[in-house]
Structures are given as structure tokens and as C-alpha cells.
Chain A
């Protein structure tokens, strides 16, 4: 499963101002698996995109490469 997290991390790193602050964690709960994307607060808007367009693109690519049923959540590192 780690290739999913690694791929997502790479895709996100390429589109942000602070690539070193990008971290993706695969979290498994009883309700399923979630890829949590942590980014620099200033990059939050970039990763989500206009109308959620970029986040949707990230989810679409992840589902294509085998992450169907895996949630992708974008999280603010400040929290």
C-alpha cells in the first residue's frame, strides 16, 4: 500500500510552494483507509484548488492506480 502514499506525496510535492512540508500518511480505521495529506498552511489552497478541482484530480488519479475505496483527506499541518 505504501506506493499509494508515496505516489500521492510526489504528486502533491510537485504542485506546492513548500514541498518539504508535504507528508502523506495512510491511516486505517474500522471504517476504511484514508490517505491524509499534510501540507504547509500556505499551500492548502493550492492542493484543494478552485472549487476543489485539484483535490478531485488527486483523488481521481489515486483511484486509477489502485486506491479505489481509499479516502484522500487534505489536512492543515497547523492543527
Chain B
């Protein structure tokens, strides 16, 4: 939040909010079984928090808990009502994920990196963004000119960074401040 103008263009590891998962390497971070136990507990707390919300709203939804890539993953699938919890461009989903993380932190005392998905929105979006990252990377590799993508959420940027990383001869970074932070794909020097 204290990001200043001269920090606006920086490489990913210096990201001011590392907990948001904007670095290229963290999907593969190692974790021990004990860490997994903590993540299972995170999922349980999150599941209770969200289940009660669905009850109060009278929405149909099944909550699925998982641990994936070193973080707790909570997925809700069910009726059409759930689209309201996704919102335009997933903004309600992001807000609900934020609150769920806080609810988990309130009980465990530890900051949570839990991921919430509703109605498969993230899964669909991930596919789209991977494709965008891959094609942009290929164009940049060929043309030798950087490409600036439109502003995205930390989740969206992470997916694009991962897709770019799989293409040779290009690299990517984020620039600008939230909520206008965006991915720039640049040819490797």
C-alpha cells in the first residue's frame, strides 16, 4: 500500500504484497506434512465460515476442501445463485476470499493464503489467461518488443506470469499500483 512511484516498476520478487501470490516461483514451494495439517485446519475454518453464509443466503452449494501447491483450496459449486458470489470479473469472489482469509487468520493467528473458487470461475479464467500469457509471450519473443497487458488482479497476474515463464526468450514483471497493476512481457536480454 505504501508503494511509491519509483517502486512502480520492479521485478516480481520485490512485490510489496508477497502473500497475494504474485511471484513466479511460489506455486512450487515445498511443504511438510505438518504444514499440510495447518492447511487442512484452514480449510475447515473457511468451510464453516462460508457454509453459514450460504445458509443465511439460502443458496445451494457444496463446499469442497483441498490442499494444493502449499495452500488450502476451498471450492463452492452449486446453483445459479452462486454467480452473485462471483460478481463482475470475479470482484465479489476476490472480496469474499479476502474476508475468508481474515476469518481463518482470526482463529489460527497466522496469515492465510487460502484460495477460494466459486462455480469454477477461477478454473475457467485460468485457462483463458494461460492462453493469453502464452500467445503474448510468443508474439514478444518474435517481435522483440515488450507488451503491456490490461490491469489484472494478483491471481490473474500470477497465472499470466506462469504461462509466460514457460516460453523461451521472454520474461515478465508487474508494474503500476493496485488496482491498475498490470503484467508487462519483455524480451530477455
Interface residues of A (CB under 8 A from B): 3, 6-7, 10-11, 14-17, 46, 50-51, 53-54, 56-58, 60-61, 63-66
User: Which residues of B (98-124) have their CB < 8 Å from a CB of A?
Assistant: 98-99, 102-103, 106
Cβ B99 vs Cβ A15 within 8 A:
yes
Contact of B103 among A14, A58, A61 (CB under 8 A): A14
Cβ B95 vs Cβ A61 within 8 A:
yes
In the complex the two chains form, what is the Cα distance from A67 to B171 in whole Å? 42
B68 nearest CB across to chain A (Å): 23
In the complex the two chains form, what is the Cα distance from A66 to B56 in whole Å? 13
A-side interface mostly: helix
Cβ A64 vs Cβ B53 within 8 A:
no
The reply on B96 being an interface residue by CB < 8 A is yes
A12 nearest CB across to chain B (Å): 9
The reply on B57 being an interface residue by CB < 8 A is yes
In the complex the two chains form, what is the Cα distance from A37 to B76 in whole Å? 27
Cβ B95 vs Cβ A10 within 8 A:
no
